Structure 1
């Protein structure tokens, strides 16, 4: 991966007077759809809206007639699984195509926009947690390119057709400074614009038919956090449309604001996807703006006329724009380079034509096929960066050990995250799994037995991570507690764990945090120096709060004893403590895994870096973290989930925390259990848990709970994996099979 980005901004001067704002009423909208990506298809008789369906049980893509009334007329719904990204391309091999990536399997898929039928087989599996996708057709060559954004990286692809067969070829991968959630392409500026939804900055780089990584700069800052981007292709120069919740600001390519359009007809609306249809239609003679939204009246797709808004802002309309028009065809993707690279005149030593090969191709004429990392010596290179892995290996270029789940929990609840394992004091085979539901609907904690059977659900305010506290002294009682940070009211939530492993409320079970603080992740720590119990909670800003937990006046009490910033200050969530060594280990999602002292008086000005994204072993997002105990404080392992590649790293517990291996969880077809994708949190113990898990247990969140008969469940499940299958016989010797958390 190459990078070349500039963080020096090219901010244009703001207008000296306030920009004009006009109303933008909703003309029509769809029924309820969970969506955040939208595109449009130009058609003389029936122009279309196409958008993603991010619902777990429905998923896929939906097509609507743009000229329809409320609710918009749905023309097709294809269901390859929960889908996050969608874009439109026109005139590739005489077809208009929907391009999408389904989250469960990470494959590109193409659909004919006119029939909604899938074109060919799934293409070019691109493992990762991708967050934005946009297309660019070169006006000089007519070649169609795709820009795919993920965890601080961008992949440029070429989409092409040959005798009715389509392929997607990787051109290059390069770094960028953010996790982009929206992107747009300006034809007049010949630039890609992209932004994240947690900041006002808009980044840009030039589009070009080259294998050289572009320079990235900050074009400017919007007035609020950017929620979506689009480009309006103007008669002379293009406009940049920037969504900021319920307002769409309009800028020129120099980033001078020309005005804004305020959404009306709905309350508390947030725009999550944005696109423009510029040609005249029966209902929209001056074109329309389309968007994916969420608001008080629901979520889905909506359309507004541009006529009054553009007139009110004195903006030039360009209803003659048509992306179906053919560009010139002087392509630099040439036969001399095997159609696997760009021909460059006068760039060889002799001043003759030379080839700049696409990713996975090499040689003077780009005829040699290569694979990154030589398929990690665990597979055969069978195509450009395509590895055929040996049994037991998979993931990125066969670098990940493959294991299978042996069980899964009953499907229950919506979006989950970090679970916990409670070890029974009387019979370890009766231990329990505690999980979270952090989505609004059905939020709370659930308890399962080791077969995955649901035993209990209890309401809680959108808990994210859950941990177990053992042997807490509550007056004259010694009890176990479950602890989570609850996002609904930004409190610390605690429940008593009964002797059979179910949960019940306890006095003082809801504790406040400081004013204005928004909780995110959490974990617990028991000091062996002072015998005191502590609760950690973090915010997305990386501010950690450490509370002492005590019992007074027949109720739980908390006292703030420390706060500090974790990592480099970017988003954090998962954490785990190591009581024996006095550490807290934290995951900084886009960056690294860190270790800090867990005592209130420990120096927290600088952490110890365990692993860093880009070091050859670690990938973003760094999510859940768990500890497997050994027989002594220098034995055992740290496990951390990496959402972007649906995999987990194993590090040694003892400093300097050497990297051990990466594993991923594939489906168990014999038992009808799907694999794990876009994993968030996990928990693990090395203790033997009866006949079900004699070699320890790993419980992990699965983002898309795929059903054996096809489709995706609307409810989540957690996958159960034997720790012994991950570590193997030799490494299991460093695990304490008799670990007792109450000892």
Structure 2
């Protein structure tokens, strides 16, 4: 009994040290989803081309008996995928050539099998013949972070991070393509610095600008060229090195124009998001300055996603989706964020 009390007290003290309480000014979500079975981690937005208000949020349930979940914009679970072995991050792409058709796909990492898994949307059915292995030949594999780059010529690339790895070439980039009904992934690039401090989980791609961003937890956000054909593995920027309480986590891009908008990065233990300018400043596209810190009700958010489209009366100027403790995702009305950005 004494051991149990000691463990409970230790857990409480550790929690108090690492997590700040929710700010009184924290923005409240418009919607909180139904809870998943185990532990939410990362969301992505599937945009319904015919009616944006009928779009879906695809989120990971990060556990050995996990899955991908599809939620409607009221937060209700409408579909659950086949069981997955600890799916971590998820991203979505459109117009992928598969079986003589162009479809939307969701790609997620499956950490315990060292694979990426691919699902058609919106039906959330697997189309990958059991998954595609990544980081083959490496001692440390365990894929975690993931993002998709869609190039102007219609080629698709998946950038994958892992639990741990070398201080150089930490990320691997694969070209994703299909031969009729069989999907293939060809390794085309290894790149990216890593501090060795914690891990790299959050990865985001800005397709229009052609950049990759990823969070080196406890250090900052690193920026690289997305197109492997340009043969440029030089780090363009390391920003957000100050102002974070502990971990840098989820990265989202809210677009106000083709090359303007905001980059939002989770200040995880502070229950807030720090906002940077997407286009850079003072004529330097790689000079990303902090513009604001937005407190949210989401607790210790790992993953997030944003869109500036009109999703109906609840989200007329866009939606911001954030993972929160409690096995849920929060949906925020972008209008509530704007007051911090004026």
Q: TM-score, normalised by structure 1?
A: 0.42
1:576 corresponds to: 204
Q: For 1:454-603, list aligned pairs within 5 A.
A: 454-458=77-81, 459-497=83-121, 501-508=122-129, 510-513=131-134, 514-516=136-138, 517-528=141-152, 530-541=153-164, 543-570=170-197, 571-600=199-228, 601-603=230-232
Q: Distance between the aligned counterparts of 2:159 and 2:207, measured in 1?
A: 13
Q: Does 1:654 align with 2:293?
A: no
Query: Cα distance, 1:729 vs. partner?
Result: 9.1
* Of 304, 310, 313, the match for 1:691: 313
1:468: Cα distance to partner? 0.6
Measure how far apart 1:51 and its partner are.
4.6
Q: Which residue of 2 aligns with 1:427?
A: 51
Bigger drift between 518-527 and 601-610 goes to 601-610
Compared with structure 1, are the counterparts of its residues 538 and 51 closer, same or farther at alpha carbon in structure 2 (3 Å cutoff)? farther
Counterpart in the other structure of 1:264: none
Deviation at 1:579, TM superposition (A): 0.8
The whole-number CA distance in structure 1 between the counterparts of 2:95 and 2:57 is 18
Alpha-carbon deviation of 1:505?
Answer: 1.6
Q: 2:304 maps to what in 1? A: 682
Measure, in 1, the Cα distance between the counterparts of 2:44 and 2:252: 9
User: In structure 2, the residue corresponding to 1:460 is in which secondary structure?
Assistant: coil
SS in 1 for 2:40: coil
**CA 1:440–1:49: 2 relative to 1, 3 Å:** same
Q: Does 1:101 align with 2:55?
A: no
Instruction: Decide whether the 8 Å contact of 1:409 with 1:719 is kept in 2.
Output: yes
Q: Secondary structure at the match of 1:49?
A: helix
Question: What is the deviation of 1:572?
Answer: 0.8
Q: Please give the root-mean-square deviation of Cα atoms over the aligned residues, in Å.
A: 2.2
Task: State the distance in 1 between where 2:118 and 2:5 align.
Answer: 41
Secondary structure of the residue aligned to 1:688 is coil
> Structure 1 residues 446, 607: CA separation in 2 closer, same or farther (over 3 Å shift)?
same
The answer for the alignment partner of 2:68 in structure 1 is 445
Q: Could you tell me whether the CA contact under 8 Å between 2:224 and 2:234 is conserved in 1?
A: no
- Secondary structure of 2:144's counterpart equals coil
| CA contact 2:95–2:103 (8 Å) conserved in 1 | yes
Conserved 8 A contact 1:481-1:495: yes
2:90–2:147 contact (8 Å) kept in structure 1: yes
Structure 2 match to 1:722: 333
Q: Distance in 1 between matches of 2:301 and 2:273?
A: 9
Q: Is there any run of 5+ residues in structure 1 with no aligned partner, and where? A: 1-46, 54-60, 62-82, 87-99, 107-125, 131-393, 666-674, 706-715, 732-743
- What SS does the corresponding residue of 2:42 show, helix, strand or coil? coil
Q: Partners of 2:328 and 2:6 in 1: how far apart?
A: 23
Q: CA deviation at 1:460?
A: 2.2
Match of 1:234 in 2: none
Unaligned 5+ residue runs, structure 2? Answer: 281-286
Q: Which residue of 1 aligns with 2:283?
A: none
Query: Is the 8 Å Cα contact of residues 567 and 607 (structure 1) preserved in structure 2?
Result: no
Change (3 A) 1:688 1:605: same
Provide closer, same or farther for how the CA distance between residues 129 and 565 of structure 1 changes in structure 2, counting only shifts above 3 A.
Answer: farther
Q: Residues 37-77 of structure 1, C-alpha deviation per residue, up to 9 Å, x if partnerless?
A: xxxxxxxxxx8223577xxxxxxx3xxxxxxxxxxxxxxxx
How far apart are 1:626 and its partner, in Å? 1.1
Tell me how far 1:629 sits from its aligned partner. Answer: 1.7
Report if aligned partners of 1:678, 1:702 keep a CA contact under 8 Å in 2.
yes
Cα pair 1:429 1:692 within 8 Å, conserved: no
SS in 1 for 2:26: strand
Look up the match of 1:642: 267
Gap change, CA 1:505 and 1:50, over 3 Å in 2: closer
Number of residue pairs matched by the alignment: 325
With CA pairs under 8 Å and 6+ residues apart, which has the higher RCO, 1 or 2? 2
Aligned mates of 2:234, 2:317 — CA distance in 1: 39
Bigger Cα displacement from structure 2, 512-521 vs 448-457: 512-521
